[in-house]
Structure 1
Amino acid sequence: MALGALAAALPAEAADDNGAALNALVRARLAEEGGEPAAALSALTAVSSVAPDLPGLRGRMLEQAIEAGDLDAARAAALRLWTGGDRRFDAQLVLIVDAMRRSDWKAARDYMAGRSDKAGADTIGRLILPTVNAWIDVGAREKLPERHLIAVNNRLRPEPSLSLQVALVQLATQRTAEATTLTDGIMLTDRTSQLVGLRVAATLERAGQRDAVERLRGRIALASGQREDPMLLLPDQPVSTPRAGTALWLGLLADGLARAPGGGSKVPLLFARAAHWLNDRDWAVRATLIEALDRNGQQAEAMALLDIGGTELPPVLAMRRAELMADAGDLPGAAKLAEAAATQSDARSLLVRLADIMRRSNDPKATGRAYERLEAALGDGEGDQALRGTLLIARAELLLQADEWDAARRLMEKAVALRPDDASVLNFAGYSALERRKDVKQSLARIEMAWVKEPQNASIADSLGWAYFLTGRTDDAVKLLETAQRGEPGNAVIVEHLGDAYWQAGRKFQARYNWRAAALLAEAEMAMRLEAKLRDGLTPANTAP
Structure 2
Amino acid sequence: MQTQRIFPIAFLLALSGAAMMPSAGLAAGTEAAAPQPLPPLIQSLSGAYLAAKSAQLDGDLKASTSYFGQALDIDPTSEMLQQEAMFAYLAAGQFEDGVDLAAKLRESPDAGKVARIALGVDMLRKGQYAPAIAEFDILDPSDLDGLLLAHLSAWADAGDKRVDDALSRIRELDGAEWYPIFNNLQAGLIASLAGRNDVARGFFGNILADKANAQTSPDAYLAAAEALARLESQAGDKDAALAALDTGLELAANYDPLTFLKAKLEKGETLSPAIADVREGAAETLYILGQAINRGDGQQVAMLYFQLARALAPKDPSLLTALAGIAERSKRFDDAIAYYRDIPADSALRRTADLQTGLDLWYSEKKDAAKQHLRRAVADYPDNLQSYLALADVLSADKDYAEAAKALDKAVEIAVPTKQETWNLYYQRGIAHERLKQWDKAEPDFNKALELSPNQPQVLNYLGYSWVDMNRNLEKGLGMIKTAVDLRPNDGYIIDSLGWAYFRLARYDDAVEQLERAVLINPVDPTINDHLGDAYWRVGRTREAEFQWSRALVGIPKPEAAEVEKIEAKLKNGLPEDDRKAEMKNGEPTKAGVAAADPAGDGAPTAAPTAPAVTPN
Q: How would you bin the TM-score normalised by the shorter chain?
A: 0.7 to 0.9
Contact 1:468–1:476 (Cα < 8 Å) also in 2:
yes
Contact preservation (8 Å) 2:317, 2:343: no
Give 2:189's match in structure 1, choosing from 141, 153, 168: 168
Q: Equivalents in 1 of 2:429, 2:491: separation in Å?
A: 23
Unaligned residue ranges in structure 2 (runs of 5+): 1-12, 14-40, 262-270, 578-597, 603-617
Tell me: CA distance 1:172–1:41, structure 2 relative to 1, closer, same or farther (3 Å).
Answer: same
- Residue 477 of structure 1 is matched in structure 2 by 511
In structure 2, the CA distance between the partners of 1:181 and 1:316, relative to structure 1 (3 Å rule), is same
1:489 to 519, 523, 537: 523
> 1:96 Cα deviation (Å)?
1.2
| 1:234 and 1:316 in contact (8 A); partners too | no
Residue 345 of structure 1: how far off its partner (Å): 8.1
User: Is this contact kept in 2: 1:28–1:44, CA < 8 A?
Assistant: yes
Structure 1 CA distance, aligned partners of 2:451 and 2:334? 45
TM-score of the aligned structures, taking structure 1 as reference length = 0.84
Q: Quick one: higher RCO (CA 8 Å, sep 6+), 1 or 2?
A: 2
> Within 5 A, what are the aligned runs for 1:68-147?
68-83=92-107, 87-113=111-137, 115=138, 117-119=139-141, 122-144=142-164, 145-147=166-168
CA contact 1:499–1:514 (8 Å) conserved in 2 = yes
Please state how far the C-alpha of 1:516 moved relative to its aligned partner. Answer: 1.9
In the alignment, which residue of structure 2 is the partner of 1:58? 82
State which of 338, 352, 362 in structure 1 corresponds to 2:374.
Answer: 338
CA deviations over 1:470-521 (Å, ceiling 9, x no partner): 3332222222222222222222222222222222212222222222222222
Aligned partners of 2:315 and 2:343 also within 8 Å: no
Inter-partner Cα distance in structure 1 for 2:42 and 2:545: 62
- Which deviates more, 266-275 or 455-464? 455-464
Supply the distance in 1 between the matched residues of 2:184 and 2:318 (Cα, whole angstroms): 20
Percent identity over the alignment is 23
**Corresponding letter in the other structure for 2:600:** T
207-216 vs 151-160, which moves further: 151-160
User: How far does the alpha carbon of each residue in 1:275-315 deviate from its partner, in whole angstroms, 9 at most, with x for none?
Assistant: 11101232222222222344455433332222249845621
Candidates 220, 234, 247, aligned match of 1:219: 247
Shift of 1:134: 1.3
Q: Could you report, residue by residue, the CA deviation over 1:165-213 in whole angstroms, capped at 9, with x for unpaired residues?
A: 2121112222223323544454253112222331343244335454542
- Name the counterpart of 2:436: 402
Indicate yes or no: 2:429 matched with 1:372. no
Paired positions, count: 519
The more displaced of 164-173 and 71-80 is 164-173
**Match for 1:180: what amino acid?**
R
Distance 1:345 1:220 in 2: 26
1:202 aligns with 2:230: yes
How do residues 19-418 of structure 1 correspond to structure 2 at under 5 angstroms? 20-83=44-107, 87-113=111-137, 115=138, 117-119=139-141, 122-144=142-164, 145-152=166-173, 159-184=180-205, 186=207, 187-189=209-211, 190=214, 191=218, 192-222=220-250, 224=251, 226-229=252-255, 232=258, 238-259=274-295, 262-296=296-330, 298-308=332-342, 311=345, 314-341=350-377, 343-344=380-381, 348=385, 351-378=388-415, 387-388=422-423, 390-415=424-449
Partner of 1:508: 542
Q: 1:182 to 1:418 in 2, by over 3 A?
A: closer
The structure carrying a bigger helix percent of its residues is 1
- The amino acid of 1:402's aligned partner reads L
Partner of 2:560: 523
How far is the alpha carbon of 1:339 from its aligned partner?
Answer: 4.6
Displacement of 1:102 after TM fit? 0.9
Query: In structure 2, do the counterparts of structure 1 residues 97 and 349 end up closer, same or farther at CA, with 3 Å as the change threshold?
Result: same
Aligned AA (1:29): K
The alpha-carbon deviation at position 401 of structure 1 amounts to 2.6
Counterpart selection for 1:425 from 459, 462, 476: 459
Aligned equivalents of 1:493 and 1:81: distance in 2? 56
Matched letter for residue 428 of structure 2: A
Inter-partner Cα distance in structure 1 for 2:304 and 2:341: 22
Q: CA deviation at 1:76?
A: 0.5
The TM-score, its normalising length taken from structure 2, stands at 0.75
Give the CA RMSD over aligned residues.
Answer: 3.4
Instruction: Specify whether residues 165 and 19 from structure 1 end up closer, same or farther in structure 2 by C-alpha distance, changes over 3 A only.
Output: closer
Query: In 2, distance between residues paired with 1:397 and 1:104?
Result: 60
Q: Deviations over 1:244-289 (max 9, x none)?
A: 1110111112222113xx3243211110001111012322222222
Gaps spanning 5+ residues in structure 1: where?
A: 2-16
Secondary structure of 1:146's counterpart equals helix
Stretch of structure 1 that moved more, 318-327 or 179-188: 179-188
Instruction: Say which is worse superposed, 407-416 or 422-431, in terms of deviation.
Output: 407-416
